[in-house]
Structure 1
Amino acid sequence: MTESWVNSAERIGVDLHLELSGPGGRRAALTRALREAVRSGRLAPGTRLPPYRSLAADLGVARNTVADAYAELVAEGWLAARQGSGTRVAAGLPPTPSGPGARGVQGGREGVAGQAGVAAGPRHRAPRTPVAVPPGARGPRHDLRQGTPDASSFPRAAWTASYRRALLAAPSEAFGPGDPAGRPELREALTEYLARARGVRTEPDRIVICSGFAHALRLLFDRGTREGPAAGGVLRGPLAVEAYGLGFHRELLAAAGVRTVPLPLDEHGARVDGLGRERAVLLTPAHQFPTGGPLHPERRAAVIGWARARGAVVLEDDYDGEFRYDRRPVGALQGLDPERVIHVGSVSKSLSPALRLGWMVLPRRYVEPVLAAKGEREGWASVPDQLALADFVACGSYDRHVRRMRQRYRRRRDRLVAALAARAPHVEVTGVAAGLHAVLRLPPGTERSTVKAATWQGVALDGLAAFRHPQGPTAAGDGLVVGYATPSEHAYGAALEALCEVLPPG
């Protein structure tokens, strides 16, 4: 295969002829051709290369092919990417003289490893130039990662008012050593709110304040930081988990010596009929993370039946239960059996992860062990922040903020769906009836290259494979997990445009 392209001076300032030939497909051929053009001096340091879309159109190759070739050469140091100035030949790469004995003296993957028939010279080394990295490695221009609300939407005025009221009304003892259970004002406010909004059945003395779901996992499973009765851990593995979930949580559990067993997923959520002799199961029943969708009612009943029969417990991660759009609200699983479910929630999605405030609604038998694991004094959650959140919930500001953000995120979700329908109708969007993210189903074999192309263009997002349990099935296929809540309102349109640019063609 031999293909050529002559680039016009209007695009990069020079005429350039590339021949795509040799083994390994078009990406390998393009990478070799560009590397040879730099090595030979036909592309001088500082020369600006065309946008990958333009080069792809001229060569008749896929955009991702060009993006991957650029990214590889950036990683090797042949090219450099700078936000606002495009992709250029890296500085500090003098051309290699042509003629006998000249091959192999330049750096990069070929010179070092002898690839593509180029052997490294015995006495020559490439100049040590800083390896340029894609824009996304320094900080993305467009952040579409899941898990973060729009930081610019934090209700500063309402929160400040609650903070002021809470501090003025707080008793003096609130500013002493904190109660590990959490401030009673917050536990009382959460008891009323969770019962009303999430169907949770509890009392204030069964709620323990924590700093979020990861902290809750540490309190429940960590055996390495305590002495005395709680030294064995409140819970022990093996722990069943959904086949797709946060790798950070799996790593945390592994560090605590907990073996996790993946449960397959389908359109009805986790296949709980696969539960066996595990001691506990971790689920996201209101909105499976990351694939989307609630746990089917029959499976909700089945997992409670399994927990009762086994004397086991269900960990319910209610990470974004307030945000639903096209379906009836799905109540907390805890409401089916408060003595068999540990319900964990936080304000990380509804308000801000910076607050570091969450809660555990515990079966009564676990309250004292969890408090013993936490220690005699509150060492995690700020007491003034707890007081402020209690006021924020009690005065109705929390409900108003959630309703406002629910409308805003729904509009963003609708814009995402509309943009994909217009620009990439071959990409199916799933998991959008609730939550703050969507899953974009991609053609088989395109996920990795699409994530790489997105990173190259300064678009931060996650591939679906990043969330798969190492021993779990791959039935979910190729996809992207797009957090449409993350960008600020004024930046969202540009983020959508950038997203559509990197999607593989139909």
Structure 2
Amino acid sequence: MSRRLTEPPVRIDRSAPVPLTAQLVEALRAAMASGALRAGERLPSSRTLAVQLGVSRTVVTDAFQQLYAEGWLDGRHGSGTYVAEHEPLPRPPEPPEPEPPRAADPVLGRPSRQEVRGAGVADLRAGAPWVRDHDRAALRRAWRHAAELLPSDDPDPRGEPRLRALLAEHLRRTRGVRVGPENVLVTRGTGNGLDLVGAMFATGQGPFQGTASERSAARFRAGVEEPGYGKARTILAARGAEIVPCPVDDDGIRPADLPDDLALVYTTPAHQYPLGGRLPLPRRERLIAWARRTGAVVVEDDYDAEFRYDVAPLPALHGLDPERVVLLGTLSKTLDPDLGIGWIVAEPDLLSRLARVRADLSDRTSGPVQAATALLLERGDLDRHLRRMRLEYARRRAMVVEHLGPRIGGDTAGLHVLLPLPEDAVAPVIADAAEEGVLVEDTSRTSHGAPRVHGLVIGYGSVSRAELRRACEVLARAVARHTRS
């Protein structure tokens, strides 16, 4: 079958910044991919095509060489240039008609805190500390120290020994946890720590899990407070856990309602998220008794226990039974969420299991970050910062109480409060606040299913006191407007 000569549907734009050869390659490639140039069709000679396009012959020969190399062209020197056999690519779908621009909805879009700050919005979402009043000289000193150290060629998955010893001493002073460096594994934060615990159970290396065959066959069940920390559900589910919602009340988790077949239960006893309850001692003892009876592990998230405004911080749950309780902590609320330093406290045997899992995952905490944190602890800079921030957050908490009054709960500790509202008032209050430049979230993100508790989770760490005062005034007006009855 003779192969006919075809005039290729290409054009060259001399005013474009793209080189002429690249333009020709792209045009010919697109024509062959779409089927406008079919397999077997003969192209004009390089001399003829150069005359047709008004370019030098070198432009055409270079383009042909590129397409030969890519397999689009076929033929031998002196016998002509042909389109090679290929399957035409399907035509891409037509792009949809662009929607008319809409006003940004910061509540639905959940923008980053940087975006919100740049838009001049007061961000009252929970979870962020105030980071603009650091001792900058101390931070610079810590980072200079870290930069002077040589990197390790074999980092310990448990973390740097010096930092582990300093963290053990820090926990003894601030949380009443009496442990040594052999009980501490340095993480990148509570999320990283919980993920390692989940990975340990997912790979059948968790403690008290029965025989090897039982461990390899069973999918582990993980209890998470309901309502509770949504990211904990996400992290454990990603490790294959079956998430079991465990009800809480104003005091925290209810041990009497826990099923007996859980491998672990995740709890926030120092400041329940989001209700703000503090687990009383009798209930703590019942939780430990349940864990001993069922063989479960209690994962204690101590996320903001350093900040209390009524009494001294309660000792960590870990002290009641170090063999059954794994303690997670972080400096993200105390110092800076961008620092990426946290810890797991557990008995040495369990910590060794976690270290093996971590090594298998090639997971580690930055060496320079560990070195900088160690210096902050060693020089007392972190303790001084913690004392300053306790006073700062106490003032902010008092401001929230002043404006929102007796409605709020969970205000005795931490960096957030709960503002309970009638279910039908939640959305209108959020919408009214958003119109006046205040971003706040409800309890829906804390629930496994339909929310059982309705209201707003108000964080007061990430805005200035002036912004917080204005935001509280906005919220107070909106709440009064929609809860008059």
> How far apart in 2 are the matches of 1:267 and 1:150?
27
Letter of the structure 1 residue corresponding to residue 428 of structure 2: S
Match of 1:44 in 2: none
Read off the aligned partner of 1:274 and give its amino acid letter: D
Name the amino acid aligned to 2:398.
Answer: D
2:344 is aligned with what amino acid?
Answer: M
**Matched residues in 2 for 1:364 and 1:156: separation?**
36
Instruction: Provide the C-alpha distance between the structure 2 equivalents of 1:179 and 1:378, rounded to a whole number of angstroms.
Output: 11
Shift of the alpha carbon at 1:500? 2.9
Counterpart mapping for 1:120-139 below 5 A:
128-134=99-105, 137=109, 139=115
With 433-442 and 462-471 compared, the bigger mean Cα shift is at: 462-471
- Residue in 2 that maps onto 1:485: 461
| 1:391 alignment partner in structure 2 | 375
Deviations 1:291-339 (A, max 9, x none): 0021011011111111122222110000001000112321100011111
Gap change, CA 1:495 and 1:154, over 3 Å in 2: farther
2:425 and 2:473 map into 1 onto residues whose CA distance is 19
2:222: which partner in 1?
Answer: 239
Residue 292 of structure 1 contacts residue 430 of structure 1 at CA under 8 Å; is this kept in 2?
yes
Asked if structure 1 preserves the Cα contact closer than 8 Å seen for 2:332 and 2:338, the reply is yes
Q: Cα distance, 1:238 vs. partner?
A: 1.0
Q: Is the 8 A contact 1:135 1:457 kept in 2?
A: no
Q: Residues 92-126 of structure 1: CA distance to partner in whole angstroms, max 9, x if unpaired?
A: xxxxxxxxxxxxxxxxxxxxxxxxxxxxxxxxx99
**Structure 1 residues 293 and 432, CA gap change in structure 2 (3 angstroms):** same
2:425 corresponds, among 436, 440, 446, to: 446
1:266 matched to which residue of 2? 249
Q: Which residue of 1 aligns with 2:127?
A: 147
* TM-score of the superposed pair, with normalisation by structure 2: 0.70
8 Å CA contact retained: 2:200, 2:353:
no
Contact 2:222/2:236 (<8 A) preserved: no
Does 2:432 match 1:413? Answer: no
Q: Which residue of 2 aligns with 1:203?
A: 180
2:191 aligns to what SS in structure 1? Answer: helix
Following superposition of structure 1 onto structure 2, how do residues 175-194 of structure 1 map, counting pairs within 5 Å? 175-194=152-171
Query: Compared with structure 1, are the counterparts of its residues 227 and 292 closer, same or farther at alpha carbon in structure 2 (3 Å cutoff)?
Result: closer
Task: Say if 2:421 is the partner of 1:437.
Answer: no
Q: Separation in 2 of the partners of 1:186 and 1:152?
A: 25
With over 3 angstroms needed to count, the CA separation of the structure-2 counterparts of 1:393 and 1:496, relative to structure 1, is: same
The structure 1 residue matched to 2:280, chosen from 284, 289, 296, is: 296
Q: 1:241 to 1:226 in 2, by over 3 A?
A: closer
Which shifted more, 158-167 or 278-287? 158-167
Tell me, yes or no, if the aligned pair for 1:487 and 1:495 is still in contact at 8 Å: no
1:461 and 2:440 are equivalent in the alignment: yes
1:285 corresponding residue in structure 2: 269
TM (normalized to structure 1)? 0.67
Conservation of the 8 A alpha-carbon contact between 2:202 and 2:241: no
Letter of the 2:460 counterpart: Y
Distance 1:431 1:348, change over 3 A: same
Q: Which runs of 5+ in 2 are unaligned?
A: 1-95
- 2:206 and 2:325 mapped to 1: Cα distance? 22
- Residue 229 to residue 288, structure 1, CA distance change in 2 (3 Å): closer
CA distance in 2: counterparts of 1:223 and 1:310, whole angstroms: 18
Q: In 1, distance between residues paired with 2:477 and 2:332?
A: 30
Instruction: Please report the RMSD computed on the Cα atoms of aligned residues, expressed in angstroms.
Output: 2.9
AA in 1 matched with 2:137: A
Matched to 2:410, the amino acid is: G
Distance change (3 Å), C-alpha of 1:236 and 1:220:
farther
Relative distance call for 1:166 and 1:353 in structure 2 (3 A) is same
Aligned match of 2:331:
347
Number of the residue aligned with 1:332? 316
| Structure 1 position 133, deviation (Å) | 2.4
CA shift for structure 1 position 376: 6.5
Q: Is the 8 A contact 1:284 1:316 kept in 2?
A: yes
C-alpha displacement at 1:284, in angstroms? 0.3
Q: SS of 2:101's equivalent?
A: coil
Inter-partner Cα distance in structure 2 for 1:198 and 1:442: 34
Q: Is the 8 A contact 1:134 1:458 kept in 2?
A: no
Deviation at 1:253, TM superposition (A): 1.6
Deviation of 1:135 after TM superposition, in Å, equals 5.5
Q: Residue in 2 aligned with 1:306?
A: 290
Cα separation, 2, equivalents of 1:202 and 1:224: 24
Aligned length: 370
Cross-structure match for 2:387 = 403
Instruction: Find the aligned partners of 1:296 and 1:236 in 2 and give their Cα distance.
Output: 32
Over residues 453-477 of structure 1, what are the superposed CA-to-partner deviations in whole Å (9 max), with x where a residue is unaligned? 3334332221023211227x71x3x
**Partners of 1:317 and 1:127 in 2: how far apart?**
46
Flag the 1:135–1:457 CA change in 2: closer, same or farther, 3 A: farther
Change (3 A) 1:197 1:227: closer
Report the alpha carbon displacement of residue 153 of structure 1 after superposing the two structures with TM: 2.6
Sort the Cα spacing of 1:445 and 1:247 in 2 relative to 1 into closer, same or farther, 3 A: same
Q: Secondary structure at the match of 2:224?
A: strand
1:128 to 1:383, Cα distance in 2 relative to 1, 3 A:
closer
Asked whether the equivalents of residues 200 and 357 of structure 2 are also in contact (C-alpha less than 8 Å), the reply is no
Structure 1 residues 251 and 391: alpha-carbon distance in aligned structure 2, compared to 1, 3 A threshold: same
Cα deviation, 1:130-189, whole Å, max 9, x if unaligned, reads: 233236656431100100001213332222223334555x5x4x5434221101111000
Quick one: structure 1 residues 450 and 378, their matched pair in 2 at CA, closer, same or farther if it must change by over 3 Å? same
Name 2:193's counterpart in structure 1.
Answer: 216
Write the deviation string for residues 380-411 of structure 1: whole angstroms up to 9, x where unpaired: 42111111111211221111111100100000
Say which SS state the counterpart of residue 281 (structure 1) adopts. Answer: strand
**Which segments of 5 or more consecutive residues in structure 1 lack a partner in the other structure?**
1-124, 422-426
One-letter identity of the residue aligned with 1:131: R
Moved more, 449-458 or 318-327: 449-458
Q: Specify whether residues 195 and 313 from structure 1 end up closer, same or farther in structure 2 by C-alpha distance, changes over 3 A only.
A: same
Percentage identity across paired residues of the two chains: 38
Provide the rounded CA distance (Å) in 2 between the counterparts of 1:335 and 1:269: 18
Distance 1:438 1:341 in 2: 27
Change over 3 Å in CA distance of 1:135–1:273 after alignment to 2: closer
- Mapped partners of 1:228, 1:441: distance in 2: 41
Deviations 1:17-52 (A, max 9, x none): xxxxxxxxxxxxxxxxxxxxxxxxxxxxxxxxxxxx
Partner of 1:98: none
What secondary structure, in the 3-state scheme, does the structure 2 residue paired with 1:151 have?
Answer: coil
